Amino acid sequence: MKKNVLMGLSLVGLLVLGACGQGDAGEKSDVKKVGILQTVEHGSFDEAREGFIQGLADNGYKEGENLEIDYQNAQNNQDNLKSMSEKLIKDDPDLLLAVGTPSGQALANGTQDIPTLVTAVTDLKAAKLVKSYDKPGTNISGTSNLSPIKKQIDLLLSVVPDAKKIGLLYNAGEVNSQIQIDVAKAYLEELGLEVNIKNATTTNDVQQATESVASDVDGIYIPTDSTFASAATVVGEVVKEKKIPLVAGSVDQVKEGGLVTLGVDYVSLGHQTGEMAAKILDGEATPQEIPVEYAKNLAFYVNEDMAAALGIDPESIKEPK
């Protein structure tokens, strides 16, 4: 009888310990594997990735507990993108995340099966990642970082109301940048302004392109472009010297080398993507049926140091309605 009682107590103890173990994992005891491929290291992409991880954590998936993350950064190198995407896919994770358009395209070329989300991609359809925004129809969905381009242009023109010519800088090799530049150019021409457009294919070309444009225009607009974002401090030094106001597509770009923006909050954008990922990992949805989302939160930011260098009162710069 005593032996049976002890066995019963032991069994109860094991059950209690098991229950405690499940509680510690936040009811999601299975460890999920997520692979992250990031195009290049810069503030906006880093913030989107961090927001994604926080979004997962806020929905019960915490790294080191029930979540394993394999993070790869291609540093804007196409060969790296290919090899890193192949590695992540070979590991057969539960979900993949691409930060940036080239990363999304690399993963899309490698797998049509593993659930994949993208973030910080301007136009998922133009990048051939989805069939439609409402119903992607592929193994990919995610969040677009499409900025309010016309409002950003209006913001620049509020700073230089007598402007006759505006400069546009971007990398024509980035699909998302070309889309934004087309919108900006059409809008500026609609307003009767001249446009000076320069392309830089690598960060090594950024300074020369910026100097060329800054010597010929009244203001500069740069979209959410990976190449120029990676060299934002270089751009900032040029426009500061030339005394040319610059509006960029993201807050991060302006912090490092611009004057003002009404741009995407990338932490928030990444968090949205993390919430989508949690639904997929929970088995509640698939990328094929999750609509692509736009940024829910925008941030108005004025670089006061740049304003001072340009002789502009930061209080005079108002958020567009």
pLDDT single digits (tens) 270-289: 999 999 999 999 999 999 99
Q: Which residue has the higher pLDDT, 10 or 42?
A: 42
pLDDT at 36: 98
Mean pLDDT on 27-49: 90
- In CATH, the number for domain 149-263+300-316 is 3.40.50.2300
Per DSSP bridges, beta strands 194-199 and 116-121 are unpaired
pLDDT at 320: 84
Q: Is the pTM above the cut of 0.85?
A: no
* Residue 290 pLDDT class (50, 70, 90 cuts): very high
Q: Return the beta strands (E) in 137-268 as ranges.
A: 140-144, 165-170, 194-199, 219-222, 246-248, 260-264
* Residue 19 pLDDT class (50, 70, 90 cuts): very low
For the cut 90, the answer to whether the pLDDT of residue 4 exceeds it is no
Q: Is the dihedral of CA 121, 127, 128, 132 positive or negative?
A: positive
pLDDT at 125: 94
In the predicted model, what is the mean pLDDT of the chain? 91
pLDDT at 120: 93
* Residue 293 pLDDT class (50, 70, 90 cuts): very high
Question: Residues 140-178: pLDDT tens digits?
Answer: 999 999 989 999 999 999 999 999 999 999 999 888 899
Percentage of the chain beyond pLDDT 90 is 83
Question: Residues 93-141: pLDDT tens digits?
Answer: 999 999 999 999 999 999 999 999 999 999 999 999 999 999 999 999 9
Tell me the residue type at 176.
Answer: N
The structural architecture, per CATH, of the domain 30-145+265-296 is 3-Layer(aba) Sandwich (3.40)
Helices 43-58 and 266-281 pack at an angle, to 10 degrees, of 40
Mean pLDDT on 65-75: 97
Listed by start position, the domains of the chain span 30-145+265-296, 149-263+300-316
Task: Give kind and range of the element (H or E) at residue 46.
Answer: helix 43-58
For the cut 50, the answer to whether the pLDDT of residue 15 exceeds it is no
Give the list of residues 6+ apart from residue 90 with CB closer than 8 angstroms, or none. none
Give the list of residues 6+ apart from residue 281 with CB closer than 8 angstroms, or none. 32, 56, 61, 94, 95
Mean pLDDT on 202-229: 95
Q: Which residue has the higher pLDDT, 266 or 21?
A: 266
Is there a shared CATH topology between the 30-145+265-296 domain and the 149-263+300-316 domain?
yes
Mean pLDDT on 304-315: 97
Q: Is the dihedral of CA 164, 218, 45, 88 positive or negative?
A: positive
Mean pLDDT on 252-260: 94
